[in-house]
Structure 1
Amino acid sequence: MEDLVRPIYQERASHRNTLGILMIEKKLNNSAIADTFDLVLFVIVKDAEQPVFIKHYVSNEQKAALYVVDEKKLNEWILLGSNRKVIDWVLNGKVLFDRNEYVHALRKRLLEFPQEIRQLKMGIEFAKLIRRYTDGKVFFETKQLLDAYNHIVHALHHLARLAVIEQGFYPEVTVWNQVKQIDPQIYKLYEELIESEETLDKRLELLFLASEFLIHSRIASGTAHLLKVLGEKKEAWTIGEITEHPDLKVYSIDIVIMLEYLVERNVLLIEEVPTKGQGIYHRYYVVKKN
């Protein structure tokens, strides 16, 4: 199959814009890694009109996919975890072309996983975790059990990824294999949710209680990035200033519910500033001093 796609990657390698080309072949025990294709060519470019360009090929009943991704989109995927296959592709793909050792340096950066990037990724996962957990609990309390189940499953996935990042690793596509080794307690919760013979109502009740403890125990790691930004820049923040801050935009809308969670836990304090309207106050967020 590599012989068949050789003209494709040789043509791409001739472009000055191309930074690196990797080849990912389907694994016998995990075809999902290659998106069910027999082979994936992953081309990283400096910039492009389309952040992501995809082509599909077929030859002798074998399928191949070409992904051309610009550097900005690749870094976004890595930071936000919005395309987790890419981590596997970059770390484990066969390097076919590497301009000025770009791929080598990228792999080194991923493996070193700098503390500032790790904190940010933990913050993003923590915010998503709080969103899913909070919404799921509301559904549970209003007896919308299937919706509650859906949210707690997603919450556990975010908790699992947070636990993996805490230990200095990037969450893989098969994140539960990682968590089984890294944090058996979270893995056991997931098992109990999907395998227990208890009624759904009872399973959810136990899961929400156990999850609340595990979430609370990760407040420090999950909020380190947010509190660092808020604590260093100024004393009190409006919600608009927080959501528009360039270092915090990656949290997206999840940051709103994360802030409320931290207020309830007395990690953030509320400062009321009078408006022109009688009895109406602006709500400012302040990091509690230790």
Structure 2
Amino acid sequence: MEDILRPIYQERASNEDTLSILLIERRKEESPITENLDAVLFIIVREANDPLFIKHYEYINQKASLYVATAEQVHEWLLYGTNRRIVDWVLNGKVIFDRNEYVDQLRQRLLDFPQQERVEKTAIEFAKLIRRYIEGKDFYESKHYLDAFNHIIHALHHLARLSVIENGFHPEVTVWSQVRKIEPEIYKLYEELVYSTEELPKRLELLFLASEFLVNQRTEIGSKHFLEVLSEKEEAWTFDEILNHPKLRPYVIDVGVLLEFLVGKGVVRVEKIPTKGKNIYHRHYRILKN
């Protein structure tokens, strides 16, 4: 496949904005990693009009896709976890072209997983975990058991990803094979939910109890990044100020539910500011110092 795609990537390699070119080939019959195509040509560039450009090719009976992404877009994928195949592509793709050892440095960064990136990624996963857990519990209490099941499965997935991150690794597509070795307790919960012969309501009841303990156990590390942001000033924050803080952009959609969770845990204090309306107050938020 590399020979077939050579005219395409040679043209790209001559462009000064091209940082790296990786080739990812199909490893088995059904291959989500390559979107069931025979190969993916993944090109990372400094800048482009669009952060992502995709093109499909066909040669006789073989199919391939061309992905052109900016370095900034790749960084966002790796940080936010919104395109989990990228970790696999970067770590396992065949390097066709590499300007100034860009891919080598990117791979090393993935393996090193710098502490601040871990803190940010932990915050993203924890915020998603809280939303799924709370919404799932609400469905369970309303006796919407299949919806509750869906949410607790997602909550366990975020819990698994958190565990992988805590241990210094990037969560990959095969996160359950990772967490089975790292934290068997979480894997066991997943097995009990999926394979248990108990009635679904009973399974969910036990899972929510166990999950609540694991969520509480991770509150300190999961909220670290969020609380660091709130510590940036002495004054109380309005919700709009929190919502629009650039450092919280990666998980802004879950900030509201995370904030109320931390208020409920006594980690963040609500300050009531009078309005012109009788008995109506603005809610401002301040981190409780130890």
TM-score range, shorter chain: over 0.9
Q: Which residue of 1 aligns with 2:254?
A: 254
Flag structure 2 segments of 5+ consecutive residues without an equivalent.
Answer: none
Aligned-residue offset at 1:232: 2.7
**C-alpha separation between the residues in 2 aligned to 1:149 and 1:113?**
32
Residue identity in the other structure for 2:4 = L
For 1:1-290, list aligned pairs within 5 A: 1-28=1-28, 31-290=31-290
The alignment's TM-score, normalised by the length of structure 2, stands at 0.97
**C-alpha separation between the residues in 2 aligned to 1:220 and 1:26?**
41
**C-alpha separation between the residues in 2 aligned to 1:29 and 1:285?**
53
Residue identity in the other structure for 2:211 = S
**C-alpha separation between the residues in 1 aligned to 2:166 and 2:53?**
33
**C-alpha separation between the residues in 2 aligned to 1:282 and 1:30?**
55
For structure 1, which segment, 25-34 or 188-197, has the greater mean C-alpha deviation from structure 2 after superposition? 25-34
Residue identity in the other structure for 1:12 = R
**C-alpha separation between the residues in 2 aligned to 1:173 and 1:126?**
18
**C-alpha separation between the residues in 2 aligned to 1:185 and 1:263?**
28
Deviations 1:154-196 (A, max 9, x none): 1111111111111111000010000100110110000011100
For structure 1, which segment, 52-61 or 220-229, has the greater mean C-alpha deviation from structure 2 after superposition? 52-61
Equivalences, count? 290
The two structures, once aligned, show a CA RMSD in angstroms of 1.2
Identity %: 61
Secondary structure of 1:133 counterpart: helix
Secondary structure of 2:247 counterpart: coil
Aligned-residue offset at 1:276: 2.4
**C-alpha separation between the residues in 1 aligned to 2:128 and 2:271?**
26
**C-alpha separation between the residues in 2 aligned to 1:101 and 1:44?**
13
Aligned-residue offset at 1:204: 0.7
Residue identity in the other structure for 1:75 = H
Secondary structure of 2:102 counterpart: helix
Deviations 1:230-254 (A, max 9, x none): 1133331111010101111221220
**C-alpha separation between the residues in 2 aligned to 1:43 and 1:69?**
6
Residue identity in the other structure for 1:142 = S
**C-alpha separation between the residues in 2 aligned to 1:41 and 1:263?**
47
Aligned-residue offset at 1:75: 1.2
Aligned-residue offset at 1:29: 8.2
Residue identity in the other structure for 2:87 = I
Deviations 1:212-243 (A, max 9, x none): 00000001110111111111333311110101
| Conserved? CA contact 1:135–1:151, under 8 Å | yes
Residue identity in the other structure for 1:56 = H
Secondary structure of 2:69 counterpart: strand
Q: Aligned pair in 2 of structure 1 residues 121, 29: CA closer, same or farther (>3 Å)?
A: farther
**C-alpha separation between the residues in 2 aligned to 1:288 and 1:29?**
55
Q: Where has structure 1 moved over 6 Å in runs of 4 or more?
A: none
| Conserved? CA contact 1:235–1:287, under 8 Å | no
**C-alpha separation between the residues in 2 aligned to 1:259 and 1:161?**
21
**C-alpha separation between the residues in 1 aligned to 2:30 and 2:85?**
12
The alignment's TM-score, normalised by the length of structure 1, stands at 0.97
